[in-house]
Amino acid sequence: MEKTIFLPSPLGTLEARYSPAGISSLGLLPKNDPQPLDEVGSLDSQGQEIALALAAYFKRDDKALDQLTIDISQVSAFQQSVYTALRKVSWGDVITYGDLAKEIGKPLAARAVGMAVAQNPLLLIIPCHRVLGAGGKMHGFSAEGGIATKEWLLRLEGHQIEAAKLISPEAAKRVEPEKPDYGGFHSGYVALVGRPNAGKSTLLNRLLGQPIAGVSAKPQTTRKRQLGILTTEKAQIIFLDTPGFHDPIDKLSEFINAEASYALADADLIAFLADSTAAPDAVDRRLIGVLQKKTANRILLVMTKQDLSDERTRAIAETNYQDLLPGVRTLRISAETNSGIDELISTLEEMLPEGPKFYPEDQVTEDFERDIAAEMIRASAMEKLDDEMPYSLAVRVLEFTERSNGDLYILASIYVEREAQKGILIGKSGQMIKEIGVSARKSIEAMADRKVFLSLDVKVQKDWKNNPFFLKEMGLAKQK
């Protein structure tokens, strides 16, 4: 059984989660998220070990965290290799992203290593603050406090920093490696951005030839960035399916917009999906305002839903978007009919820079099947329910078990905000929850390519969209 404890530190409150398998999560809480601190004497032996090790670290015990048992079984094999190597970087030392990539035997995968480092679940214990750019330059830091927290930790460990750059002799010696020859192979990250319900998830599933993203006709089906990997003979295109930008009304909305913003910052190319059936709205114009600050050769205007509008409507919509994004290349597609998909792929192959294969050829995502299943359950519920109800839903998969015959058993909880919503979701004589289950099961079976037994229950978590602790548990907390 997993336990959660809250511990003091010079940086603020630390939240740690652990089970008999080891500590699985350690993070720094936002300043506006106070939690009652645990007394060391009230903790079990494992909790005391964690608390004492952390206290010793902040007193400059350079070996304090080395003996803690960690549990990183819930991350991908690639991330595990990065974290295992990173944990060997000792107090007082630093490493570049490129050197870390070499350490795991993938010298051309520095970019993928960077993404893994950014998703580190164990602050301090897996010392991601010790990873720097070439020449000691500071890069982004996803923990609370950002770069300031990273610099504080490095100074604690004896490093000297000036103007966001480590100036220790070791860091100063590091230089950029020579650019390797990739033999004409191209690779990179493509952010799929656009208004809610622009068709980003439908397109991603079409591009990969299999479902990995939950899809419904309702906007805001996607809440978190989702990574999809398409490997062709000429390129490896890594798609970042982003939530649609919208006006923030709660902490969940702030997180959703932040996810889209992070994807824009990380991407080599930005595919802006514009709906061919309608003129640009306020949300489109807000996003275009961000894109206008970027160079035109990094943006691709993709006019979607060509099958749903007449020629005149399509022409007017396209002209409106081109006027707002002058000089940007334009493609026309329909993810539903597959029209224009081949041209889109070949265009991205051409536009991406030369680079390595970051992932094995047969890998299509970094997400676990259980996480994809949760999104498909939520998408099925959104599709079945009316009005505002769909946006009050969150889904957690509690059990994801492969049976001896290869079938999957999945137990999941759907959370709503109010008791009245619970009755609506269950429906008369349980009919609504049954329909949602049938629809979700079919989607998960198509994704997993095997038989699925799905059991759903409904729980109330009041005002969860503004509950920082619940959002963090669900992976929906905004990183700063």
Average pLDDT along the chain, 480 residues, taken 10 residues at a time: 88 91 90 80 92 92 92 85 92 88 81 83 92 76 82 87 67 49 86 79 79 44 63 90 56 53 70 90 84 86 91 92 93 90 94 83 71 82 68 80 85 87 87 90 84 90 75 57
CB count in 10 Å sphere of residue 402? 12
Confidence at residue 221, expressed as pLDDT on a 0 to 100 scale: 41
Confidence at residue 174, expressed as pLDDT on a 0 to 100 scale: 46
Backbone angles phi, psi at 189, to 5 degrees: -105, 130
Distance CA 115, CA 84 (A): 15
Asked if residue 343 and residue 295 are part of one domain, the reply reads: yes
CATH number at residue 294: 3.40.50.300
Asked if residue 149 and residue 198 are part of one domain, the reply reads: no
Confidence at residue 419, expressed as pLDDT on a 0 to 100 scale: 87
**8 Å CB contact between 203 and 196:** no
Buried b (16+ CB within 10 A) or exposed e, 403-440: eeeeebebebbbbbbeeebbebbbeeeeebbeebbebb
Report yes or no on 275 lying in a domain.
Answer: yes
What is the set of active-site residues?
128
Confidence at residue 387, expressed as pLDDT on a 0 to 100 scale: 56
Distance CA 401, CA 411 (A): 9
Report yes or no on 157 lying in a domain.
Answer: yes
Asked if residue 320 and residue 223 are part of one domain, the reply reads: yes
Asked if residue 402 and residue 467 are part of one domain, the reply reads: yes
Confidence at residue 191, expressed as pLDDT on a 0 to 100 scale: 86
**8 Å CB contact between 136 and 165:** yes
Asked if residue 254 and residue 119 are part of one domain, the reply reads: no
Domain boundary among 351, 382, 417: 351
Domain boundary among 351, 382, 397: 351
**8 Å CB contact between 264 and 288:** no
CATH number at residue 161: 1.10.10.10
Chain segment 203-254, per-residue pLDDT in tens: 887 887 765 544 433 334 444 556 788 899 999 998 887 765 545 545 555 5
Asked if residue 223 and residue 89 are part of one domain, the reply reads: no
Distance CA 160, CA 470 (A): 38
Question: What distances in angstroms separate CA 314 from CA 196, 197, 277, 302, 470, one per listed residue?
Answer: 19, 17, 6, 12, 43
Distance CA 58, CA 52 (A): 10
Report yes or no on 49 lying in a domain.
Answer: yes
Asked if residue 284 and residue 223 are part of one domain, the reply reads: yes
Report yes or no on 443 lying in a domain.
Answer: yes
Chain segment 117-158, per-residue pLDDT in tens: 888 999 999 999 999 887 777 777 777 878 888 888 988 888
Buried b (16+ CB within 10 A) or exposed e, 331-364: bbbbbeeeebbeebbebbbebbeebbbbbeeebb
Asked if residue 322 and residue 278 are part of one domain, the reply reads: yes
Overall domain count for the chain: 4
Report yes or no on 478 lying in a domain.
Answer: no
Report yes or no on 363 lying in a domain.
Answer: no
Asked if residue 469 and residue 416 are part of one domain, the reply reads: yes
- Rg over CA atoms, the chain: 23
Asked if residue 337 and residue 207 are part of one domain, the reply reads: yes
Asked if residue 151 and residue 300 are part of one domain, the reply reads: no
Domain boundary among 142, 173, 204: 173
Report yes or no on 69 lying in a domain.
Answer: no
Asked if residue 336 and residue 210 are part of one domain, the reply reads: yes
Report yes or no on 100 lying in a domain.
Answer: yes
Residue 145 domain boundaries: 77-173
Confidence at residue 203, expressed as pLDDT on a 0 to 100 scale: 86
